[in-house]
A = this chain, B = another copy of it.
Amino acid sequence: MNPTIELLKSHRSIRKFKDQQIPRELFEDLIRAGQCAATSNHVQAYTIIHVVNPESRRKLAELAGGQTYVETCSDFLVFCADMKRATESAEKAGAEVIRGMTEQLLVASVDAALIAQNVVVAAESEGLGICYIGGIRNNPQDVSDLLKLPAHVYPVFGLCLGYPDQNPEVKPRLPLAAILKEDVYDDAEDEALVASFDDTMARYYGARTGGNKDTNWSEQLKPLFTSKLRPHMKEFLNKRGFGVK
C-alpha cells in the first residue's frame, strides 16, 4: 500500500481543532491542488467562499445547526456550485445561453464535490483535519444572503480545515460486495451484507461508548428518512436558477 492510499484510508472527520492558523501559502496551495481535479468539459463550475469574518463564522455555525467547529477551525470554506461565471463568459463571447437545466445542477454540484475532495486529500496529506458541513443546506437562503451569492450560484456544503486536536478512529464502511457490483445491479446479497455491517457498527458504537450506545447502521439512518429532509431544497434551487428545466 503506497503512502497516498494509506492516507486516504486513514480519513476521519475532525470536529475539534487546535487554535492554530494554517499559513496562507499552504492554504492557497491546497486550493490550487483542488483545482486540478477533473471538471466537466473544463467548465470549473464552482466558487469557494473563504469565510474569515468572525461574525459570519458565528452565524454560519448557528445556521448549520449549532456546529461550533465551523467557528473554531482554522479556515472555513463554503463550496458553491457556480453556473454564473461560465454562462456569463459564454454570453460575452456571443452565445445565447440557456440556464436552469437540471443537468447544470448536476454538473456544478459534482464539480464542486470533486474540487472539495481534492482539497481534503491535500489538507490531510499535510496533517490537517477536515469536516464537511452538509448542514449549510439547513438554511441555504440565509447562507446565500450572508455570503451575497448571486443567481446561478448555490452553497453545496461547507468544509472545516485546521490542525486536529482529537484523534478519532476511522469509521467502518459497508462491505465491498455491497457497493461494488459486476455488470448489473444485483442486490440478492445486500440484506445479508447490511446485516453484517449492522453488527460491525453495533460493535463500533458499543466500543466507543463503553457499551452505552446500542445502535447500528440501519437504526442510525432512521431519523434521516422518517422526516422530510430539508424539504426547502427543491424550491430553493429553483429560485436560484438550478434544475428548473
Using a CB–CB cutoff of 8 Å, the interface residues on chain A facing chain B are: 1-5, 7-11, 13, 28-38, 40-44, 46-53, 56, 80, 82, 84-99, 101-104, 106-107, 109-110, 113-114, 116-118, 120-122, 125-126, 130, 132, 134, 137, 147-150, 153, 156-157, 170-171, 173-174, 176, 178-187, 190-191, 194, 198, 217-222, 224-231, 233-234, 237, 243, 245
Contact = CB atoms under 8 A, between A and B. Distances in A.
B183 A56 contact: yes
Given A102-B234, A231-B245, A121 B219 contact: no
Contacts of A178: 47, 85
Given A9-B33, A9-B36, A225-B90, A148 B184 contact: yes
A104 to B, nearest CB: 7
A24 to B, nearest CB: 12
Contact of A185 (B49, B90, B225): B49
A90 B42 contact: no
A1 B28 CA distance: 12
24 contacts: A5-B29, A11-B36, A28-B180, A31-B180, A36-B170, A42-B217, A47-B178, A47-B179, A52-B182, A86-B221, A86-B224, A87-B221, A89-B194, A94-B222, A95-B221, A98-B226, A99-B225, A101-B230, A102-B237, A103-B230, A104-B229, A110-B156, A114-B116, A228-B245
A101 B99 CA distance: 22
A187 B118 CA distance: 24
A238 to B, nearest CB: 9
Contacts of A226: 90, 95-98
A37 B171 CA distance: 10
**A-B pairs with the 3 shortest C-beta distances?**
A113-B113, A4-B125, A117-B117
B225 A183 contact: no
Contact of A35 (B42, B179, B185): B179
B93 A222 contact: yes
B185 A149 contact: yes
A225 B173 contact: no
